[in-house]
Amino acid sequence: MLAVLGLSGSTGGVSSQIQSLLGSAQTASIQAIQAEDAARRALENAKTEIRASFDGLVYEINAVPGQTTPGSSTGLSLGLDTGTTPVVTLYDDAHIRAVFQAGRTEAKKLEKGMIVEFMQDGQTYPGTILYKAGVATGGVSTGSSQADSLFNMAGSATSLAEPMLEIEFSVTGYRQGDLLIGFPIDARIRIATVDDTIMIPSEAMKKELGEYYVFVMDTDGILHKTFLETGIQSDTHAQVISGLQTGDRVVLNPSNSLVDGLRVREKTVSP
């Protein structure tokens, strides 16, 4: 009786294992059929030829004829980070765009539609601002987390990088081949204009408690510290709203040793 019971238990265990193996084999067979069907559909829908919607420069090719690539659906790089390597990267040299990362000061002054003048290799090209991002990006220093940078600024040896706002420009008025794509290009933007105003070189101005001042020399060679109210400014000049009159002589690049009432002599510079 004991021998029969032991044989019966052993037979049941083998049967269960066989059923399990058969189930695994059936699952593997179904998966293989599904994989084959998916591969066949992918082959049928694969693009054997890639055509761009524009003429341009082929910058990079990441495949060879006959190779299957799992890239984007179009296979073209459109300047977006999709996490996959594009099959072909093209540059549209007939519609060049320039991109500028603006800090807070510059971003406040720039608006979509402003006229831009570009300069490269002695040539100038017109353009306009096409796009101004709504949110600045960046600003976290390398080697530290954002929380560490924000809450441990005083004790951290790593300084914060300023967030930047992306500005995109159109560039026009050029012939294909005139501009070297990928190189920096200088730009000049007119943010405001004034007529019949006094302008002063920025190098003549100093600042004290948030106010600009200059040293004006009178006819006797005496310096007078004169505070100014300024208007629009560029990198080289500033508009003077009040504080100076036409014909006033101011000191350029004033040193810290200059004081109000000091007698000086005007230096004649040879051309």
Q: Tell me the CA distances in angstroms from 239 to 48, 77, 184, 224, one per residue in order.
A: 62, 46, 30, 20
Asked if residue 72 has pLDDT above 50, the reply is: no
Residue 34: what pLDDT?
Answer: 81
The bridge status of strand 57-61 relative to strand 249-250 is unpaired
Task: State the pLDDT confidence band at 71, using cuts at 50, 70 and 90.
Answer: very low
Whether residue 60 has pLDDT greater than 70: yes
Q: What is the mean pLDDT of residues 124-152?
A: 68
Residue 79 pLDDT > 60, yes or no? no
Q: What is the pLDDT of residue 218?
A: 94
Contacts with 227 (C-beta within 8 Å, 6 or more apart), sequence order? 211, 212, 213, 243
Q: What is the pTM of this model?
A: 0.50
Q: What is the C-alpha to C-alpha distance for residues 133 and 131, in angstroms, rounded to an integer? A: 6
Q: Locate 271 and state its tokens.
A: 């051309």
- Whether the predicted pLDDT of 156 surpasses 80: no
- Give percent of the chain above pLDDT 90: 31
- Give the containing element (helix H, strand E) for 76: strand 76-77
pLDDT band at 89 (very low <50, low <70, confident <90, very high): confident
Residue 127 or 150, more confident: 127
Tell me: pLDDT of 81 over 60: no
Contact residues for 125 (Cβ-Cβ < 8 A; gap 6+): 117, 118, 119, 171, 172, 173, 174, 178, 179
Long-range contacts of 223-227 (CB under 8 A, 24+ apart): 223/251, 223/258, 223/259, 223/260, 223/261, 223/262, 223/263, 223/264, 224/260, 224/261, 225/259, 225/260
Is 190's pLDDT higher than 60? yes
Whether pLDDT at 32 is above 60: yes
- Which tokens belong to 244? 């100076």
Least confident of 45-54, 131-140, 170-179, 222-231: 45-54
**Mean pLDDT within 222-244:** 91
pLDDT of residue 83: 57
User: Quick one: CA torsion of 124, 125, 128, 133, rounded to 10 degrees?
Assistant: -80
Q: What local confidence, expressed as pLDDT, does residue 27 receive? A: 79
Mean pLDDT of 124-132: 92
